[in-house]
Structure formats: structure tokens, C-alpha cells
Amino acid sequence: MKYRQCDSPAVWWAVFGAVCLLTAATRFYNVGQPEHVVWDETHFGKFGSWYINRTFFFDVHPPLGKMLIGAFGYLTGYDGTFPFVKPGDSYEGVSYIGMRVCCTAMGACLVPFAFIIVWEMTLSLPAATFASSLILFDIGLLTLTQYILLDPILLFFIMGSVVGMVKFHAQRERAFSGSWWGWLAFTGFMLSGSVSTKFVGLFVVVFVGLHTIATLWDLYGDLRNPLSLVAKHFLSRALGLILLPIILYCAYFYIHLTILCKSGNGDGFYSSAFQSQLEGNSLYNASMPLELAYGAEITLKNARTGGGYLHSHIHLYPEGVGARQQQITTYSHKDFNNKWLVKKWNEEPADWEDEDEPIELVKNGDLVRLEHVPTGRNLHSHREAAPVTKRHHQVTGYGENGEGDVNDVWRVEVEGGAEGVPVKTVVHRLRLVHYLVGCALMSHNKQLPKWGYEQMEVTCNPNVHDPNNLWNVEDNQFPRLPNSSFEIYAPNFIEKFIESHTPKEGEITSQPWQWPINFKGQWFSAIDGFKVYLLGHPLIWWGNLVVLAAFVVVYCRHSYARQRGAPIDAATKARRDRTLGACGWLALAWALHYLPFYAMGRILYFHHYFPALLFSSMLTGVILDYLFESLPGLVPRYLATTVYPTLTGLFYSTLAYSFYLFSPLAYGMHNLEPDWENHTIHKMRWLDTWEF
């Protein structure tokens, strides 16, 4: 009896339809609950609001997912006014349902996508049903895809990319037909969506790229194919899988930078020239002297993305932290304590109101002193160790009323500028090199302790060419020079596009080894009366690990048998090769979406494992079908016909019942008190590290 072949399209569509109906029923049930902000809805709901209000912001992720959230809200009646301050804030009177429903709809597509992927890889209806059921009944995926988050959008594009890949591969006998080009373009579109939602979408790009290389290698290895045909295949794939995604990725950023035209709280992460294009920013349509003169009052902004303003205040470094002199820091907000007076190194500036005094411009290579306007102390450095970065030198404010010593002298260096070129406001990037010590003024992304008000450390860096040593003059006040508009120096799209790509550092909140074993979950909502806890379905997650090990055993066993020349009939060989081929690609996809996290020094959360989970669940479905179908040949004949249906029934009943038991984690653990200790869900807490 054959269970692998689907002879009737009607059966296929009936099973696929049932999978889709169950997916809709589980995903959209209670989608409006809880009626308050859940976990990272705080961030992504807020980003959606800012798109609707056209307010600029900074985020580490590319823009497409957040733009889609904004579009979902706009199209479903949300006006962008809800502040999304913190988890637990009530949605009363807010049209938030549309955003949740649209994100949930994208997350719901994962189940039919898995069905199609496994079907195209194996041509086995049971394998496709097993795989999609594992994704359908996973509590963690249900939880992660029901809220206003980037995850359902990212997972949609990742799985869509693989759907496009397998459907395109299925058209290989109809090369260059309309459907062939259509699935190629679909794959490129989905790849662009993956990378444009989160940069981890690059993993699926690598996966599809490796699969494409393998298929091109097969074409090249077939001596019946002329090289011109191979070249045509290569160029068409380069067009659809490389050029098209790049064009779309740039287009998404163009839309992003066009929509967000108003000043917001993300301005400070960008250069002065970038900020000058944002409506409402102090630099927007601003005019000030283009060139820097002695006697000008200026602010200096660190040129790295997210760099702050050179800042000081009356407080001193504490005892035991270098010289007990005035603190120098960087501060990300505009403030009077950011103002500095530019002086010659050996004399006080002339009275700028005296029309008879000649105007002297600051030039590349000049020696200067910078006096902090509010306190009258000079920017100073010496060979004392910096307070946090001990290998650097301390920077302080020193002297009274501008009177100090030779350690207050700095040489101005314009990056890439010729000797003697006048320093320009905003346009030029500068280094301030200490005259005696030879180090360069540097801004860190390290916070000082509470005695430094947790502002950012400033040091004198012995590595003069460190890119964090670069600064630019942002504000320039000198009435005797004519003002210039900085509109002509506005960055073009390419410059803004490049500046928008910057990493953000963060702490690790979980370890990758914890994820596959479902070691610890994550609270989504901890509000009394409605609690949601992100946890993977333990039977599925632990079963995936067992099956992954089983795949390795099966693969090694069949490789050994093949090398030994063991006899095998053609049908069995075809089934085995198709199964192991599909599992090999799915195992590779799992590894690509999981193992790189071990090398990442960035914020890591439990939910980063879910793309890899999709591929391990599909692999489990394929292997289970293969093992279930192989077992009848290992038992007595009178039992052979009952083994497969019995195991299949046991699989689905266990999966469905355990889903029922764990479902309160996703749908909300509400109204459980005061008999919490006796509630069924409490008994499902199998590990002490699970916190529900």
C-alpha cells in the first residue's frame, strides 16, 4: 500500500484546504487579546505611528517591516496618535486590531508555505502534512505571530523565499517560460523582503544562493547543455536573485527616507548634514557662517553615527579617577553646555563687535584652544589614564577664565584637506590632535558611571586615525561673517542610504545553546488577569532534536550501504534519494539560520531561533514520513498494513492534545488565580527554568 503518492488532485486540495482552515482557526482566535501593549509592540507599534506621522526615528533594522506595520495601521483606520509607552498600556479607544490582524495573517502563511515546500521537495502528501502540522501546533510560533512585531513579517518573507526557490526549481523542465520567470521574480521579491525586514534575512539569501549554485553546477555538468545555455541560465538568475533584490532593497530605503521627513528623536544618530534635511530640526533651513573664524562660538558633534556633542559641566572627576579636574563628556541632546569658544593657542580672540579688527579664519593645521563657554575652562589632556578606557588619556576642563597651560593646545586636522584650507562648518570632518601627547580627541559609546551622569566617555586616543576621532562643527556663531544656507551641502540619497546602515551594539540576554532545547521562555505579557508566555511546544522542539540526530544516523547508514553496493530496488532508491536530498537542504537551512548566532556579539533573544525552528520542523516531518513508511517492512505481514495509520493517528492525537494543554501560554493565562497552583497549565511546567 502506497502512502507517498497523491494520485488525486482533489485529495491534495482537500488536505491542503483542511490545513489552511485549521491555521486560520488557531491564528485568528482571540487575535485582539490582550487589549493592551504586549512586549515589543511598544517599539514596532510606535514605529508604525511615526511612519503615519512622517516622524524620523532611528532603528537597527531595515525599514520594510516597520513600513508595512505603518501601512497596516493607516489602511485599517489607525491615526498614529497612540504613544506605545510601555507594555501593559491599555488600547482602549485605539484602532490597533488591524495591525495585529495583518501581522497575524502574514504569520499564518507559514503553515501552508511549509506544506508547499515539503510537497515540492518530496512529492509526499503525508510528509507535507506532518511538516505543516508541526508548525501549525507549535505554541511558540502561534505566540510570536499574533502581535504587532517584525517576526511574523520576517518569517513570512523567509518561508516565501524558500517557496519561490522550490517552485522555481519545479519549473526546470520549462526553462524560460512565463511561469519560470514568474517564480524567479517571486523568489527575488521575497529575498528582498527578508533582508529589508531584518538583516538576519541574509541567511536565507545564502541558502537560496547555495541551492542556485548547485542547480547551475548540475546544468554545467550535463555535457548535453551548450555553454551558451548555461550562461543564459546564470545571467537570468543573476537578474532575478541578485539585481532585482538589490533594486527593491534600495527602493524600500528611498521610500523610507522620503516618508520620514520630520524631525524626531532619532536625529542625533545622524550627521549634521543629514539632520539639516528634517523639518523641525534646528538645522533645517538653517543659515550660519560657512567658514570657521577665531572668536566663534561653536558646537562639535562626533561624526560617527549616533555620536554626541562635546559637552562639559561644572562637576569634577571624583577622587582616584585621574586628575580631579572638570569632566568632559559627550551628550546626545542640544544643550548650552555644548558651546565652545575657538581661540588661538597663544592669545585671546579679538572683540568680534569691533569692525576694525581683521577676521582670521581657522585653517587646517592651526593650533587652537577651545574654551568651554559656560565654565570658562579649556579643553585639556595629559598623560593620566582615562576613567574607563585606561589605555587612553584623560580629557578634562582646566584653567580659570580661559587661562591654562600648554596641555590645552590642540592641532586642527581636516580629514582629506590640504594644509592651510579654511575649516568649514558641517562640511568638514576634523581631528583635534593634542599638541604635546600626540593623541586625538575621541568619543566612545561607553557610558560613564553615575558620577558622570551616565553620559558618554571622552578620551584622548593614541590611535590618531581611529574613525571615532572625527568631529564636525555643527553650530557656528560669528556675526561678522555672512551666513550661508546649508541646503547646497545636503546629502543625496546614496549618501543618506549609506549613513542609514550602521550597527548597534547591545548586551546578550540569552545564549544560543539554550534555544533548541527550549531551556527558557520569555514573557510577552505579565499583566495580572492576562498573561502570555513565549515558549516552544516542548514535544515538537525536543522531538526535532531527536529527529535531527536520526537523520544523521539514517544518512550515514544509507551512505554506508551505497558504498558497500547493497542491493536496492529502483522505487526504494528513488524514495530514499528524494528524502535524503530534501532533508539535506533543510538541515543546511537550519544550520544557516542557527549556528551564526554563536559568533554574534549583539542583542540575542529566544525568538531569534524561530526561523531555524521552521526548517527543523519541516525536516522532522520528512523523516517521520520516511520512518513510518519504512517500518511496515520490519514487522510481521499481518501487522504491516496497520503500522503506518496507527503511528500517524498517534502522532496527530498527541500533537493536538498537547497543543490544547499548552495553548493558555499563547491565548492568555487569565482568571487563573486564586487556584493557580491547581490549574492544569501549572502542571505543564516541566522545567524549573520555565517561569509561568
pLDDT in tens, 147-200: 999 999 999 999 999 999 999 999 999 999 999 999 999 999 999 999 999 999
**Which has more confidence, 683 or 546?**
546
Amino acid symbol at 22: L
pLDDT band at 675 (very low <50, low <70, confident <90, very high): low
Instruction: Write out the three cell numbers for 68.
Output: 508595512
Domains and CATH numbers, the chain: 277-480 (2.80.10.50), 508-692 (no CATH)
Q: 388-430 pLDDT, tens per residue?
A: 999 999 999 998 776 778 999 999 999 988 888 999 988 889 9
d(CA 267, CA 252): 20
Phi, psi of 484 (to 5 degrees): -125, 145
Count of all residues that appear for the chain in the document: 692
Cβ proximity of 592 and 202 under 8 Å: no
The mean predicted confidence, pLDDT, of the chain is 87
Determine if residue 365 is left, alpha or beta; phi over 0 gives left, psi from -120 to 50 gives alpha, anything else beta.
Answer: left
Confidence of residue 7 (pLDDT cuts 50, 70, 90): low
Please write the tens of the pLDDT for every residue from 461-520. Answer: 999 999 889 999 988 888 888 887 766 566 777 766 666 665 544 444 568 888 999 888
What is the pLDDT averaged over residues 620-639? 81
606 close to 598: Cβ distance less than 8 angstroms: no
The percentage of residues in the chain with a pLDDT greater than 90, rounded to a whole number, is 53
Give how far Cα 559 sits from Cα of 486, 563, 576, Å: 68, 6, 11
C-alpha cell at 9: 488532485
Give the C-alpha separation, 132 to 650, whole Å: 16
Q: For 561-613, what is the HEC assignment? A: HHHCCCCCCHHHHHHHHHHHHHHHHHHHHHHHHHHHHHHCCCCCCHHHHHHHH
- Banded pLDDT at 88 (limits 50, 70, 90): confident
pLDDT over 50 (residue 384)? yes
Q: Categorize the per-residue pLDDT at 270 as very low, low, confident or very high, splitting at 50, 70 and 90.
A: confident
Task: Answer for the pair 439, 468: CB distance below 8 angstroms, yes or no.
Answer: no
Average pLDDT over residues 437-450: 89
